[in-house]
Amino acid sequence: MSYRVVHYINQFFANIGGEEMAHVPPELREGHVGPGLAFNQAWKGEAEIVQTIVCGDSYYAEHEKDAKAKVMEWVKAAKPDLFIAGPAFNAGRYGYACANVCKAVQEELGIPVLTGMYVENPGADLKDKVLMVSTTNSAAGMRKAAPTMAKLAMKLMKGEKIGASCEEGYMPNGIRVNFFEKERGSKRAVDMLLNKLADKPFVTEYPMPTFDRVAPNPPVKDLSKATIALCTSGGIVPKGNPDHIESSSASHYGEYCLKGVDKLTEATYETAHGGYDPVYANEDPNRVLPVDVMREFEKEGKIGKLHEFFYTTVGNGTAVASAKKFAAEYAKKLVAAGVDGVIMTST
Count of domains forming the chain: 2
Per the domain annotation, does 200 fall within a domain?
Answer: no
Q: Which of residues 183 and 51 earns the better pLDDT score? A: 51
Point out the domain boundary residue: 153, 168, 183. 168
Residues 6+ apart with CB under 8 A from 287: 280, 281
Q: What pLDDT was estimated at residue 322?
A: 84
163/254 same-domain check: no
Nearest to 278 by CA among 266, 262, 268, 292: 266
Give the tens place of pLDDT for each residue, 260-286.
Answer: 999 999 999 999 998 788 999 999 999
Point out the domain boundary residue: 168, 194, 213. 168
Q: Which of residues 202 and 97 earns the better pLDDT score? A: 97
Rounded Cα–Cα distance for residues 16 and 211 (Å): 39
Q: What does the DSSP 8-state code read for residue 199?
A: T
Residues 6+ apart with CB under 8 A from 309: 229, 255, 256, 257, 258, 333, 337
Task: Write down the pTM of the prediction.
Answer: 0.66
1 pLDDT higher than 70 = no
Q: What pLDDT was estimated at residue 324?
A: 87
Q: How many CB atoms lie under 10 A from the CB of residue 115?
A: 31
- Express as a percent the part of the chain with pLDDT over 70: 99
Per the domain annotation, does 204 fall within a domain?
Answer: no
pLDDT-based confidence at residue 301 (cuts at 50, 70, 90) = very high
Q: How many CB atoms lie under 10 A from the CB of residue 233?
A: 24
Point out the domain boundary residue: 168, 192, 207. 168
CB contact burial 236-273 (16+ within 10 A = b; e otherwise): bbbeeeeebbbbbbbbebbebebeebebbeeeebbbbb
Helix (H) or strand (E) holding 231: strand 227-232
For residue 159, give the CATH number of its domain.
Answer: 3.40.50.2300
Nearest to 256 by CA among 201, 335, 314, 310: 310
Residues 6+ apart with CB under 8 A from 29: 14, 51, 52, 53, 54
- Express as a percent the part of the chain with pLDDT over 90: 70
Per the domain annotation, does 130 fall within a domain?
Answer: yes
178 pLDDT higher than 80 = no
Q: Give the residue numbers spanning the domain of 263.
A: 223-345
Per the domain annotation, does 212 fall within a domain?
Answer: no
Q: What pLDDT was estimated at residue 11?
A: 94
Per the domain annotation, does 103 fall within a domain?
Answer: yes
Give the tens place of pLDDT for each residue, 105-121.
Answer: 999 999 999 999 998 88
100 pLDDT higher than 90 = yes
155/12 same-domain check: yes
Residue 146 contacts residue 109 (beta carbons within 8 Å): no
Give the tens place of pLDDT for each residue, 181-228.
Answer: 788 889 999 999 999 999 998 888 777 777 778 888 899 999 999 999
